[in-house]
Structure 1
């Protein structure tokens, strides 16, 4: 009986041992035989992005298509003296526009879907007619000397302002959708512009387009245009045949299509539907 009582008392005493003390003792027991706590694991170094070198096979080619090639740098193009028509480096991993110094006769340059943060090193391409830089990280800059440019594609970038286009008087197509533009402005020198894509921006008013006398297609869907009075600004654009305004507040009007057609008789297509 005495043994049983002693065991019972020992159990009761164990139950009243503070948890912190008990935990400390247990940890102390576990730490015996070790010289301090283990050091934290080292942070692994950042891994370099897997890229490929740009390799030219035919030095006499007039066009070069290397899209989707995991290319990280524009290089090894110095010997391509006949490269005049097209250079396509879209869907790669290029971060900087370099290595184009010798391509002075190039007419079309595709650099969409890369990681380019600045338009630069292109002003020595005086014959360039098309420049595509969609889906990068750029703003509109350093294009002043591309005076032969007819098509400029800059959708899905970080553009908040239409600017620096004054010298591009030959421009016929301008694509700046999916950016952060709030105001239509600085297009007074684009008298030859036929297609203007400003879809998926933050535009609230139709303005500053009366000078675009050759405009035929105007894409403005997915903006914030709510006032019908701003549609009146397009009366001067008598060659306008297609307009996209769907998913703007004014498109919720039950008479949306009829009002557009009455305001702009030249229209042949409203959004994706032909006019009757």
Structure 2
């Protein structure tokens, strides 16, 4: 229940609780929730917040993504600067259009294959082992190639753009701070 208390505290100013409003009803009407910079190590139970569309969880201590299953209506998820090593737990977020996962510990960018509405993916500055580069999972990339408009992979030790061919709607591709010898990538337009 600690997360519920964090939710109430976080929303007190932006979405005040009505007088005599039951807690469950208050949580059910929240559409935006800012739980950033709260030293959270887990998301906890936010099942009552089933109308959430935007969730800010950046700058916490999250190492796993649990508790998001009930957030089926999320369109934006901000997870920057946590300790995530895997993206397990995103498969039910099928309405997600923007995902911010920069500054985590991802070695493989995977788990995005069910995110068919994703338009922006920000996965910059992963904390990789020395000499390693971010691995881009082909299954996740196949889904992303059809709809991604913005892709940020800056500072991830990338040495090749081979896996980035075939994007149909990409408008912005950010690759600064990588180790690329050639900048040739074939993008396609729909």
Please state which band the TM-score falls in when normalised by the shorter chain.
0.7 to 0.9
Closer/same/farther in 2, CA of residues 79 and 136 from structure 1, 3 Å limit:
farther
CA distance in 1, matches of 2:159, 2:173: 15
Uncovered stretches (5+) of structure 2, i.e. residues with no partner: 1-7
Uncovered stretches (5+) of structure 1, i.e. residues with no partner: 1-53, 56-61, 67-75, 83-98, 267-276
* TM-score between the two structures when normalised by the length of structure 1: 0.56
CA distance in 1, matches of 2:39, 2:116: 32
Cα RMSD of the aligned pairs, angstroms, is: 2.7
- Correspondence list, 1:58-77, <5 A: 64-65=13-14, 77=17
Moved over 4 A (4+): none
Q: Which has the higher contact order (CA 8 A, sep 6+)?
A: 2
* TM-score between the two structures when normalised by the length of structure 2: 0.80
Aligned pair partner of 1:226 in 149, 159, 174:
159
Residues 80, 103 of structure 1: 8 Å contact kept: no
SS in 2 for 1:102: helix
SS in 2 for 1:149: coil
- Correspondence list, 1:81-96, <5 A: 81=21
CA distance in 2, matches of 1:64, 1:209: 40
Bigger radius of gyration? 1
Instruction: After TM superposition, give the deviation of residue 77 of structure 1 in Å.
Output: 5.0
| Count of residues paired in the alignment | 172
Asked if 1:210 is matched to 2:139, the reply is no
SS in 2 for 1:140: coil
